[in-house]
């Protein structure tokens, strides 16, 4: 277990007795999850996914990745929600390991965005990975139509087949039908894993491998996490401590969770976390509202609200022990800004003092907070972090007595939009 979990800034808000009181419910949630007796158990395939992902599957993906990088300058990942955020979160986290640029499409309906993307890439050698679990989602379907058309102007039909890879359901959906008809290279998505839990399936693994990421280490980190965070005893399982604390705080009127990081490379992990937690818990009139901030930037815009606004929130800091790069602050003879006190220090030293000061100030201002600290920015750590959050949200979902694995609410707007578009 490489992640550290600190909850000392819950003191005064939650007591040991509170945690003892919730332990039986956590035990039940643990059993329901493992024995598949809880709500939505058909979609708990993510639990043993790292263990079930074989090295030969990973080797097959890595082989394709080497070929693609030989004939491509860049990749376009087409997808939205669970078929987009995990990929982007991983690549921003692992930016130093990336070997090929990745652009995104199909995560919005913005004409200007797609126009500029095609303008920017018109002279590049492109490979496209189209990802849609259902194979029927509007945004990626339309983006694929447009980008395929753009690619057809650049490449022969035979060349196009080399440059389009699809990831979708093994049998169902329009994207599978298109794949069969055109003979595209394709991977299937496990049907017992929901979109927001799919980052460690081919949904994440294929584009990440193509971009040059060490997917074996990513899976290895998650495999170890499945062991470490599989322990029932809450005292030994930080994912369960985090889950229980969130539930208890919610019971006490803390209905908003702010995930705050001081590291740019974690900003998109926050986006992934928002989808995972928002879609898993927000139903049946219940759910903690997950939001995120990027510090210190947002301390200059949202700091006031956190410090003195309505006391209906708690905060989880996402920190890193090693920032990955040293940037030394120079000394200045004139010292007009009076910052020679930190001359010779790494900028990350100042960042960490900003975190300590913020956690203390928010705690004293009535915002209970916890801190999750990762050791560094490597693929194994990211695999562990993903599994930590997946396990935690499943437990909080069961404590809230909702089905953490469905998302019936996302269909409502789609029905209305299809009616407006005249789509059958």
Contact criterion met (CB below 8 Å) for 167 and 131: yes
Nearest to 229 by CA among 218, 219, 217, 241: 241
Q: Is 88 in the site for ligand PA5 (CB under 6 A)?
A: no
Residue list 210-269, contact with ligand PA5 (CB under 6 A): none
Please tell me what DSSP assigns to residue 137.
-
Tokens of residue 403, six digits: 């089905």
Closest to ligand PA5 by CB, 165 or 234: 165
Residue list 191-220, contact with ligand PA5 (CB under 6 A): 194-196
Facing residues of 289 across strands? 256
DSSP 36-81: T-STTGGGBTTSSHHHHS-HHHHHHHHHHHHHHHHH-SEEEEE--G
As a whole number of angstroms, the distance between CA 226 and CA 214 comes to 19
Residue 274 Cβ vs ligand PA5, minimum distance, rounded to whole Å = 11
Strands (E), 262-398: 289-294, 313-320, 369-374
As a whole number of angstroms, the distance between CA 363 and CA 13 comes to 10
The count of residues in the chain is 424
Stretch that binds ligand PA5, among 3-11, 126-134, 155-163, 223-231 (CB under 6 A): 126-134
Q: Is 403 in the site for ligand PA5 (CB under 6 A)?
A: no
Q: Is 86 in the site for ligand PA5 (CB under 6 A)?
A: no
Closest to ligand PA5 by CB, 138 or 296: 138
Residue 208 Cβ vs ligand PA5, minimum distance, rounded to whole Å = 16
Closest to ligand PA5 by CB, 14 or 78: 78
Q: Is 407 in the site for ligand PA5 (CB under 6 A)?
A: yes
239 phi and psi, to 5 degrees? -65, -35
Closest to ligand PA5 by CB, 38 or 194: 194
Contact criterion met (CB below 8 Å) for 76 and 104: yes
Q: Is 134 in the site for ligand PA5 (CB under 6 A)?
A: yes
Stretch that binds ligand PA5, among 121-129, 132-140, 286-294, 393-401 (CB under 6 A): 132-140
Q: Is 82 in the site for ligand PA5 (CB under 6 A)?
A: yes
Query: Which of the residues are catalytic?
Result: 279, 300, 414
Site residue total, ligand PA5 (CB under 6 A) = 15
Name, in order, each residue with C-beta under 8 angstroms of 402's C-beta and a sequence gap of 6 or more: 39, 280, 281, 283, 284, 286, 287
Stretch that binds ligand PA5, among 2-10, 29-37, 77-85, 372-380 (CB under 6 A): 77-85
Closest to ligand PA5 by CB, 59 or 171: 171
- Of 38, 140, 204, 404, the residue at the interface with ligand PA5 (CB under 6 A) is 140
Q: Is 280 in the site for ligand PA5 (CB under 6 A)?
A: no
Residue 308 Cβ vs ligand PA5, minimum distance, rounded to whole Å = 34
Residue 193 Cβ vs ligand PA5, minimum distance, rounded to whole Å = 10
299 phi and psi, to 5 degrees? -65, -25
- Of 77, 81, 366, 380, the residue at the interface with ligand PA5 (CB under 6 A) is 81
Q: Is 397 in the site for ligand PA5 (CB under 6 A)?
A: no
- Of 7, 44, 72, 132, the residue at the interface with ligand PA5 (CB under 6 A) is 132
Closest to ligand PA5 by CB, 263 or 277: 277
As a whole number of angstroms, the distance between CA 259 and CA 317 comes to 6
Tokens of residue 318, six digits: 């996402």
As a whole number of angstroms, the distance between CA 202 and CA 188 comes to 7
Closest to ligand PA5 by CB, 194 or 287: 194
Angular region, 338: left φ>0, alpha ψ -120 to 50, beta rest: left
Order of strands, sheet of 289-294, starting from the edge strand that comes earlier in the sequence: 4-6, 369-374, 313-320, 256-261, 289-294
As a whole number of angstroms, the distance between CA 113 and CA 98 comes to 23
Q: Is 45 in the site for ligand PA5 (CB under 6 A)?
A: no
Q: Is 44 in the site for ligand PA5 (CB under 6 A)?
A: no
Closest to ligand PA5 by CB, 83 or 185: 83
Binding site for ligand PA5 (CB under 6 A): 80-83, 132-134, 137, 140, 194-196, 279, 407, 410
């Amino acid at each position: 277990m490489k992640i550290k979990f600190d909850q000392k800034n819950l003191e005064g808000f939650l007591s040991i007795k509170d945690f003892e009181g919730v332990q039986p419910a956590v035990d039940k949630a643990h059993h329901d999850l493992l024995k598949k007796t809880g709500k939505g158990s058909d979609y708990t395939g993510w639990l043993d996914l790292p263990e079930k992902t074989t090295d030969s599957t990973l080797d097959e993906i890595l082989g394709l990745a080497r070929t693609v990088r030989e004939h491509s300058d860049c990749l376009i990942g087409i997808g939205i929600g669970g078929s987009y955020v995990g990929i982007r979160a991983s690549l921003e986290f692992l930016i130093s390991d990336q070997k090929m640029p990745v652009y995104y499409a199909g995560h919005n309906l913005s004409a200007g965005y797609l126009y500029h993307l095609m303008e920017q890439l018109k002279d590049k050698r492109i490979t496209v990975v189209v990802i849609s679990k259902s194979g029927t989602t509007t945004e990626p379907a339309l983006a694929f139509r447009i980008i395929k058309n753009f690619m057809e102007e650049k490449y022969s039909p035979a060349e196009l087949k080399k440059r389009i890879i699809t990831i979708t359901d093994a049998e169902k959906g329009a994207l599978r039908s298109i794949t069969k008809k055109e003979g595209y290279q394709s991977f299937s998505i496990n049907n017992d894993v929901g979109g927001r839990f799919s980052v460690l399936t081919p949904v994440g693994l294929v584009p990440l491998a193509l971009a040059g990421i060490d997917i074996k280490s990513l899976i290895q980190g998650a495999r170890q996490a499945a062991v470490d965070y599989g322990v029932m005893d809450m005292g030994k399982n930080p994912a369960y401590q985090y889950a229980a604390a969130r539930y208890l705080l919610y019971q006490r009127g803390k209905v908003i969770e702010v995930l705050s990081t001081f590291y740019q490379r974690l900003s998109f992990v926050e986006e992934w976390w928002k989808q995972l937690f928002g879609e898993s818990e927000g139903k049946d009139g219940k759910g903690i509202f997950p939001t995120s901030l990027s510090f210190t930037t947002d301390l200059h815009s949202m700091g006031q609200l956190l410090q003195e606004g309505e006391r209906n929130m708690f905060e989880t800091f996402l920190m890193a022990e090693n920032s990955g790069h040293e940037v030394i602050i120079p000394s200045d003879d004139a010292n007009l800004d009076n910052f020679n006190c930190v001359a010779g220090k790494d900028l990350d030293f100042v960042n960490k003092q900003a975190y300590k000061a913020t956690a203390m100030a928010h705690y004293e201002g009535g915002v209970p907070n916890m801190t999750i600290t990762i050791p560094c920015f490597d693929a194994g750590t990211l695999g562990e972090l993903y599994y930590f959050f997946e396990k935690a949200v499943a437990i909080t979902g069961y404590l809230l007595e909702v089905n953490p694995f469905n998302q019936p609410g996302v269909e409502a707007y789609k029905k209305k939009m299809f009616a407006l578009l005249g789509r059958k």
